[in-house]
Amino acid sequence: MSQPTPHHFTDRLIAAIRRKKNPVLVGLDPRAESLPKGLLAGEENEAVARAYVAFCRGIIDVVAPLVPAVKPQAAFFEQLGPTGCVALGEVMNYAAEKGLVVILDGKRNDIGTTAQAYAEGYLGGVGFQPAQKSPWGADALTVSPYLGDDSITPFLTIAKERGAGIFVLVKTSNPGGGRFQDLVADGQPLYRHVAQFVEGLSAKSRGSEGYGFAGAVCGATYPEQLAELRQAMPSTLFLIPGFGAQGGTAKDCAAAFDERGLGGIVNNSRGIIFAHSRVEYRDKFGDARWQAAVEAATRDMIAQLATETTAGRL
C-alpha cells in the first residue's frame, strides 16, 4: 500500500504566512548575558540551559499568535554541551506544539552518508508516519552549499520524503561574506552560481504557490543583490536575515516579495527577543515586562513590513 505524500513544505509555510498575514520569522538566539533579570539562577551550564528553555518558551507564547515561524539558532544551545542540546529539543518541540513552523539554523553539510545522517537527524517534523519524524523534528534546516551538489542531494531526498525544506546559503548578511561569495568565476560572482543551482532545484519542486522546497538565504543587508537574486530566482523562497540589529530595514527587504506579498520570510532575532533592552522599549517595559516588549517589537516589525513591502497585501 502506497504512503500518502507529505504536504509540500513551502506551501505549508506560505499557508502559515497567509494565516498570520505577515512574513516575520523570529530568531531564537538566547544569550546568558542578555536575558531579562531574574531568569538566570546560576552560571553552570545546567542553570543556563534551564533559563534558555524558560526564555524561549516565554517568547514562543507571545509570538505564536502573531507570526508564522521561529528559527532556533543551534549554536547558542550547543555551546552549553549536552544539556544545551536537550534544551534545544525542548524549545523546538514547544514551538511545534504551538503551531509554529520551526526552521533550525544549523548551517549543516558534509558529503555522502554524513550529509544523509544530518538530513535524517534534523528534518521531518510533519511526516504522516511516526517513523518519518526525525529526532529533532525540524520543518526546515539551513544548509551550506560549499561541498557541492552531491552534498545537497541527501537533504533534498529526505526533505521531499518528509514534507520538509532546506534553505541554502546564497548571499549571507554578514560583512565578511563577500570575501568568497563575491569572487568572480566564469564571469559572475560565486553567489550567482549558487543561486543558479538553487533555483534549478526550486523550479523542479514547485508547489501550488509557485515556490520550491529548496529555499535560499539572502541577506537584507545587501538590498541590491537581493533584488538581483529575486529576478534570477523566481521559484525560490528567500529566508532573509539581517533585519534590525545588523542594519537591514523593511524597505531593504521589499524586492524579495512578489505582487502577492509572498516570496520571503524575514528574520529578526535580537531586535525582538531582547527588545526589553532596546532604547525605544526599555523605559516603557524593561526587564519586568520583557514579554510585553517582545510583543511590541514583533507588532512594530509586522507593521513596517506591511508599509514598506507588498507583504501588506497578505
The active-site residue, picked from 37, 107, 160, 251, is 107
Give the mean model confidence (pLDDT) for residues 24-28.
98
Domains of the chain: 9-306 (3.20.20.70)
pLDDT tens by residue, 83-117: 999 999 999 999 999 999 999 999 999 998 999 99
* Residues 244, 267: Cα–Cα separation, whole Å: 9
Q: What is the pLDDT of residue 131?
A: 54
* Residues 234, 254: Cα–Cα separation, whole Å: 15
- Would the pLDDT of 5 be above 50? no
Q: Encode burial over 98-116: b for 16+ CB neighbours within 10 A, e otherwise.
A: eebbbbbbbbbbeeeeebb
The CA-based angle 14-59-276, given to 5 degrees, is 120
Q: What is the pLDDT of residue 2?
A: 36
Give the pLDDT band of residue 132 (cuts 50, 70, 90).
Answer: low
Q: What is the pLDDT of residue 126?
A: 55
pLDDT tens by residue, 206-240: 999 999 999 999 999 999 999 999 999 999 999 99
- For 128-162, the DSSP string reads SSGGGS-SS-BSEEEE--TT-HHHHHHHHHHHHHH
User: Is 251 marked active-site?
Assistant: no
Give the mean model confidence (pLDDT) for residues 167-192.
94
Report field, pTM of the whole predicted structure over 0.85:
yes
* Residues 266, 218: Cα–Cα separation, whole Å: 10
- Would the pLDDT of 3 be above 60? no
Mean pLDDT of the chain: 94
